[in-house]
Structures are given as C-alpha cells and as structure tokens.
Amino acid sequence: MNTPIYIGVTDNDWYRFHLNAGSTEVNFWRPGGGSFKVLDYGQPFVFKLKSPVNKLIGFGFFAGYHRLPVSMAWYVFGKGNGTPDVAALRSRLSHMADRNNIGAVSAQADPEIGCIALSDCVFLPEQLALDAPSDWKPNIVSGKTYGSDQGFNEVMWHWIRVNRPLADMVRDPIDITEPDSDVVPAQFGNAYLTRGRLGQSGFRLQILKNYENTCVFTGEHTLPVLQAAHIKPVSTFRNNAVTNGVLLRADVHILYDQGLVGIDQDYRLRVSPAIREQYLNGVNYYAHDGQAVRKLPEIPSHRPNREHLAWHMENVFVK
C-alpha cells in the first residue's frame, strides 16, 4: 500500500496544550496561509517537536485544508487551535509571524492562517515518543513526507498501530463522504487506520471549502455569518460526512433546522408557507423559493446526499 506519512514540526506549547486537554481533533495551523497538498484525506500526519527534542510525540489523520481568518479558525476549531481563547491564538500568531519575519501578518486585524484539520489525534507522553528519523535535516522548518518506499515509513506505521487505542479505532466510523460499512475488519492494517472519522471541526472546515464560502440559499459570502448545517441532525444520526451538509447563512440555518426552508432532491430551494402563516413575514425568503441552489461542490461525491435531502423534506420541512 503506497501510503505516505507526513511529519510536521510543532512547538512544545501547542503539544502540551493538546496533551493536557486530551484533544482528538485539532488545527495544525500555519501563519500566512499558503497551501498544503501533500496528503489525501485520511492519511497520517505525525507531530514532531522542534530541536533539540527531535521526538515524534503524536499523530492524527488528515481531514482537510482551507485558509481562514483567525476569527473563523476559532469558530471552526475553538481550543483545537491549541490555545485557551482567541486572544491567545492571535498572540501566538503574532509572535510566530514576527519570529519568521512575516510582518504583514501580525499587522493585519484578522489575518488568514492555513488550517490543516486533523482528526482521530493521539498525543503521547514523552516516554512513548519515537525518535525522529536519522535523515532528518536541521533546516527542515515545516515538515517532510515519508513514502512507503522509505524504511522509516514502516517504523512509523508500527508506532501508530501500537499507540492508537483499539477502542478509538472501532467506535462509530464516519468517513468524509458516506461510510461504506460499519463493519470493523478483523485485522487493523494501514488501510483501516487511514479511514478516519470526520469530526465537527473537520466537517465545518470541509463545508466552507466545498461551497467556496457561499451560502447555497442566498449567495452570502460574509464569513462570520456562514454556518455548516447538517441535513440529518448529527445528534441523532452521528453523521459528519460532507454529503450530510450544506453551507447556510446563520438565519437560514435556523430556519432549515426548524423545517421552515428546505432543499429538495433536485437541489432546488423550498420555503415553507408556515413562515407567512405564523410570522406574517418571509418576503425575503420566498423570493428564493424554487430556485436552484447557488453553489454545489465541484467534486460530485461531496455533494449533498439526495436521500438525506428527501428525508429532511419528508420529516422536518413544514408543508
């Protein structure tokens, strides 16, 4: 199996915060935005402390990448950013930007950061840490990918298998799209370990990215009022797959959850007559009734599940 593993360099404060918090879903953020294209969904991301420690102290599984202003990164990940509050996140970003001579970042009121969403994370005490690979160069400041043709790749796979708790592997698997099966294989190999589950933060990030920060109902692009909405409630169905989500403006999200607006199987917007009957209002919403959704994900397998949409129209939408 040709599965790469990425080793990302982090600092002791970020590691200690997540170790003490028992974090399982985190944002491995980077100042200045940029891009991250070295892993596919579900592939392993290993955390390495900076020199002079040079130890691998945990791992997670790649759940998506998107560039967001700090304020939205806090909305999506909260303490998964590795700080107790958004002020501490801004302070750490400013410190890193100044240290790395990225003055334009620290000068911005709400600068963008690159958000690498990681799920199913495990942070280990230092006695369970793994020594960094012998070929690791001191001048590597961000990270490095190890392919399956490199011997240290297998060393890391063994370390991941040993340190990823069995109970964590078998509970409620949720894929980025729809789970193929809830049956857990008898042997836990690399293929199963890379499956992963998309958590709430990863769900939010992936929905924002898939819909290009656009409300499917109104076309709104203002990030602070955009929310990732579940088609079938996650509290009942435990489904954070991106096919169970759409991006909605905050007020439309409330209406959607209450069944006052919907999206049918043909991806057309529907507005319940109950808005007019109960609230003597809704003119701004009725203008969208019958229109096609404003935006769909470019990847067909990430588009809303038509059966989920039908379920919402049948069970939640107020006719």
Same domain, yes or no, for 125 and 234? no
Q: Which of 144, 167, 193 is the last residue of a domain?
A: 193
DSSP label at residue 228: E
Look at residue 206 and tell me if it is in a domain: no
Over the stretch 25-76, which tens digit does the pLDDT of each residue have? 999 999 876 789 999 888 999 999 988 888 999 999 999 999 999 999 999 9
Same domain, yes or no, for 118 and 245? no
Same domain, yes or no, for 161 and 234? no
Same domain, yes or no, for 172 and 222? no
> H helices within the chain, ranges in order?
12-21, 70-77, 86-99, 103-107, 151-163, 166-170, 190-193, 200-210, 234-237, 250-257, 274-279, 283-286, 306-315
Rounded to whole angstroms, the Cα distance separating 6 from 46 reads: 6
Same domain, yes or no, for 37 and 180? yes
Residue with tokens 């069995």: 166
What residues have CB less than 8 Å from 13, skipping those under 6 apart?
82, 92
Look at residue 111 and tell me if it is in a domain: yes
Prediction pTM value: 0.83
Same domain, yes or no, for 21 and 162? yes
Look at residue 231 and tell me if it is in a domain: yes
Domain that holds residue 84: 5-193
Look at residue 97 and tell me if it is in a domain: yes
Q: Which of 130, 164, 193 is the last residue of a domain?
A: 193
Over the stretch 303-315, which tens digit does the pLDDT of each residue have? 999 999 999 999 9
Walk along the chain (319 residues) and give the pLDDT tens digit of each residue: 468 999 999 999 999 999 999 999 999 999 876 789 999 888 999 999 988 888 999 999 999 999 999 999 999 999 999 999 999 999 999 888 776 665 555 557 788 999 999 998 999 998 999 999 998 988 888 899 998 878 899 999 999 988 887 435 433 333 455 543 333 333 334 444 444 556 889 999 999 999 999 999 999 999 999 999 999 998 888 888 999 999 999 999 999 999 999 999 999 999 999 998 888 777 789 999 999 999 999 999 999 999 999 999 999 999 9
Same domain, yes or no, for 39 and 77? yes
145 beta partners: 6
Same domain, yes or no, for 124 and 220? no
Q: Which of 141, 164, 193 is the last residue of a domain?
A: 193
Same domain, yes or no, for 148 and 122? yes
Same domain, yes or no, for 145 and 23? yes
Same domain, yes or no, for 154 and 234? no
Same domain, yes or no, for 172 and 251? no
**DSSP-derived 3-state class of residue 136:** coil
Indicate the helix (H) or strand (E) that contains 294.
Answer: none
